[in-house]
Amino acid sequence: MGRVLAISSHVVRGHVGLAATVPALQALGHEAWALPTVVLASRPGLGRMVRHELPASDLAAVLAALEADGCWQSLDAVFTGYFASPASALVAAQAIAGIKAARPGLPVLVDPILGDAGRLYIAQATAEAIRDTLIPLATIATPNLFELAWLTGETFRGLDDMARAAERLGPAVVAVTSASETAASLATLLVAGGARIARSTPRRAGIPNGAGDLFAGLLLGHLLRAHRPEAALDASLAALERVLAASAGRDVLDLAALGGVAPA
């Protein structure tokens, strides 16, 4: 299986950020090198917002140490998620450029954690840094509908508009989460290799945060298992649905349900 450098947020309690992505990768047999950009005591909404950001200079030092130790050649993929500052996003982008030079063709999944429900969750300058420095390095991206619209500056009247915007975004594989929704279902749109594939899953009430982080880790994990994008999407959504069904009404995602993950 593969080795993945995963750069994102981490929480002590509650499965969001790396606390969701890393277990997803590990459940599929991959080795994850977790590098937190920020550490929180609990996920937002669960407990006290005690937060410690890793300064960009420290992030750069950790990445420089890994590079000096010759680690880039042993990587099989890179994952990025949450960044707390434009400087941190730039530091990660510079490291990823070096990794891609050492490992041409290396998959890079950028989960552009910007916001949802019509608003940014992070500073605009940080969102712009993710758009301008990380998205161009990505081979895979997993924006939600709001994030796709913000990144492309476009509005959508339907899935066809979304698919065209996803193709223009740049990465070879783009999975748009919450691409459309009804009272009973949510749709995920996959755009890859000229194909446009939409899959609907049940809409569930009382789901704790972290589903997007979990999905992104599952998608990368299945793609690293040499699954074609459509098969990787289906396998990822099946595993995600098991977790969400087990998690309804709970405070945190029930990642024990990942024990049933199997190749597509």
**Is 260 in contact with 21 (CB distance < 8 Å)?**
no
Report in angstroms the alpha-carbon separations of 113 from 58, 80, 102, 116, 229: 21, 9, 27, 9, 21
Check residue 14 and give its pLDDT: 83
Q: What is the pLDDT of residues 190-244, one digit of tens each?
A: 999 999 999 999 998 888 889 999 999 999 999 999 899 999 999 999 999 999 9
Q: What is the pLDDT of residues 83-121, one digit of tens each?
A: 999 999 999 999 999 999 999 999 999 999 999 989 999
- Beta-carbon contacts of 188 under 8 Å, excluding residues fewer than 6 positions away, are 175, 176, 177, 178, 179, 198, 199, 201, 215, 233, 237
Check residue 260 and give its pLDDT: 57
Distance CA 17, CA 45 (A): 14
Distance CA 8, CA 22 (A): 10
- Beta-carbon contacts of 224 under 8 Å, excluding residues fewer than 6 positions away, are 1, 2, 4, 28, 30, 76, 77, 107
Task: Please tell me whether residue 120 adopts helix, strand or coil conformation.
Answer: strand
Give me the domains of the chain, ranges plus CATH numbers: 3-259 (3.40.1190.20)
Q: What is the pLDDT of residues 8-65, one digit of tens each?
A: 999 988 899 999 999 999 999 999 999 999 999 877 777 777 789 999 999 999 999 9
pLDDT > 60? residue 262: no
Which helix or strand (DSSP H or E) is residue 179 part of? strand 173-181
Check residue 264 and give its pLDDT: 44
- Beta-carbon contacts of 118 under 8 Å, excluding residues fewer than 6 positions away, are 146
Tell me which long-range contacts 161-167 makes (C-beta under 8 A, separation of at least 24): 162/189, 163/189, 163/191, 163/196, 166/191, 167/191
Full-model pTM? 0.95
Check residue 261 and give its pLDDT: 56
Check residue 263 and give its pLDDT: 45
**Is 87 in contact with 79 (CB distance < 8 Å)?**
no
Q: What is the pLDDT of residues 155-200, one digit of tens each?
A: 998 999 999 999 999 999 999 999 998 989 999 999 999 999 999 9
Q: Which of 137, 142, 65 shows the shortest CA–CA distance to 104?
A: 137
Mean pLDDT, the chain, integer? 94
Q: What is the mean pLDDT of residues 122-137?
A: 98
